[in-house]
A and B are shown apart, each in its own frame.
Chain A
Amino acid sequence: MGSTILYNKNTLEILKCQRKPYGSSGMPSFKAICMSARIPEDMISELDICTINESLSTKDAKEKLRLINGEPLPKPFLQIKSNKVDVLKFKIIVEVKNKLESDLFDFVKMSINGVEFSIDLNNGIGNKIIEAEEPDKYIIKCRDDRFFSYPLEVVVVG
């Protein structure tokens, strides 16, 4: 188990996460992971690697992890809940969990059925009342890559 993460030292962006093979091999080297990510020669000095114990794909690593001082840490989890307020009206409640003391989040970018909006956060908590135009199924997603989150499905009935 384990993976090597290639990231940009300046932006802390995760570029590639490569899983350790089993058997007669080891953790992917810096050179190998740069080859995997097709990094041009002149960019290599801006990059570095770190390792994690989990076996993650690049997509999963980008979704779930962030880098702080070169250390891979879980992204804060954004919990999304909803309450019915009135007919065709409901409240979206968001709460940031697993955040560090140094984390300051003023807002979070969200979407409802693909339409983007933001919710202001106060101490990691925020809410927004949504008035639906018609009864339907609404998918609420976090569109902010600072957080890891699961989408919420809200069914509004007339």
Chain B
Amino acid sequence: MDNHRLILKSNINEGYIKAEDEQGNYSLWDGDGLRFFKAGFPSIPFWYNKKIAFGIAEHNEYVDLSAGKWDRPPSVHLAASNFPVYLSSKSGQGQVLDIGIDGPVTTNGFRVRARLNALGSQFNFNQERRVVAESGTKTFLLFYSNNDYNCNRIIINYTMVHYEKSSYYSGGKLITPNSNAVTRLELRKRNPDGSWSHISNLEGALSGSHEWNITDTADTGILTPGSYGVRLLAANNQTAGRSGDTWAKTQSNNITFFFAGETEAATGEVVWIAVENSQ
């Protein structure tokens, strides 16, 4: 083994340590990190990573790096670890692994997305609610999508919404309540804390005053990918002094929600590696 002389310099004012050999190769260690320069290539550093962490995370998990006191947000690399890769219950739909980071990567951590998505999921809803006409206006929830769906577009097709007034006898006369209903289809988005935010009322879909049958289609257009739900509300208006029942119902299989894009079908786990680059 040959002997070589090494020149070691440190500069307290500028805050660096430099080690250089006789050929001009040197390493430099300062607040930006540690890097090595080959002789003759002073502008091409070979950087050494300052911090690294790795582990396994489930879908939606917030990986906590705060105890590591990272100076810079890391670059994060993910790979599938433990996943269902095919669900026979979704055999009619394409299925894809969806792995990624949701939200920002910061020095404190990041949130992992690890799920199996089904493409173009379709759901049918059929619910019936009886609403009682009262003085003034009252809002009733007629139905809602009982889950939130990850998607980027929702198309709602329906063939009929039926309001039926129940007539009754009063003082020997057949009375038909003077009530009708105004419906509103509301699009909501699920927040990270589990609560819902109102996004919009879907125009052209079940909006307005109806007594009998209607047929229509509503299309949200392309949405920001996220978890969405839909609910139909009815406001029941009734003229003072008259009372009675109003049936508000959807008929069999008449409302179809088509959640376009990718819908979460199952979740899994990923291997993650977070590397804090030196620059």
Chain A contacts to B: CB under 8 angstroms: 18-29, 31-33, 35-36, 38-41, 55, 57-58
- Point out the residues of chain B lying under 8 angstroms from A18, CB to CB: 57-58, 61, 64
- Point out the residues of chain B lying under 8 angstroms from A57, CB to CB: 56, 58, 82, 269
**Considering the chains assembled together, what is the distance between the CA atoms of A40 and B193 in angstroms?**
5
- Point out the residues of chain A lying under 8 angstroms from B109, CB to CB: 32
- Point out the residues of chain B lying under 8 angstroms from A55, CB to CB: 56
Could you say which of B5-13, B65-73, B89-97, B116-124 contacts chain A? B65-73
**Considering the chains assembled together, what is the distance between the CA atoms of A18 and B272 in angstroms?**
14
A25 near B68: Cβ-Cβ < 8 Å: yes
- Chain B, interface residues (CB within 8 Å), range: 20 to 34
Indicate which residue in A20, A32, A35 contacts B55 across the interface (CB closer than 8 Å). A20
Instruction: List 14 A-B residue pairs with CB atoms under 8 Å apart, sorted by A's residue number.
Output: A20-B55, A21-B63, A21-B274, A23-B274, A24-B70, A24-B276, A25-B53, A25-B66, A26-B66, A31-B64, A32-B64, A32-B66, A32-B109, A57-B56
- Point out the residues of chain A lying under 8 angstroms from B60, CB to CB: 36, 38
Given contacts A28-B64, A32-B63, 15 further A-B contacts (CB under 8 A): A19-B56, A21-B54, A21-B65, A22-B53, A23-B68, A24-B51, A24-B70, A24-B276, A26-B67, A35-B192, A36-B62, A40-B193, A40-B194, A41-B193, A57-B56
Query: Are A24 and B52 CB-contacts (below 8 A) given A29-B66, A35-B111?
Result: yes
Q: Which B78-114 residues sit within 8 Å CB-CB of chain A?
A: 82, 109, 111
Please tell me if B195 contacts chain A, counting CB pairs below 8 Å.
Answer: yes
**Considering the chains assembled together, what is the distance between the CA atoms of A33 and B70 in angstroms?**
19
Indicate which residue in B55, B111, B269, B276 contacts A21 across the interface (CB closer than 8 Å). B55
CB distance from B165 to the nearest CB of A (A): 40
- Point out the residues of chain B lying under 8 angstroms from A26, CB to CB: 64, 66-68
Chain B contacts to A: CB under 8 angstroms: 51-58, 60-68, 70, 82, 109, 111, 192-195, 269, 272, 274, 276
A58 near B66: Cβ-Cβ < 8 Å: no
Query: Are A24 and B65 CB-contacts (below 8 A) given A19-B56, A35-B111, A57-B269?
Result: yes
- Point out the residues of chain A lying under 8 angstroms from B65, CB to CB: 21, 24-25
Q: Which chain A residue has the least Cβ–Cβ distance from B56?
A: A19
A38 near B63: Cβ-Cβ < 8 Å: no
Indicate which residue in B51, B193, B194 contacts A23 across the interface (CB closer than 8 Å). B51
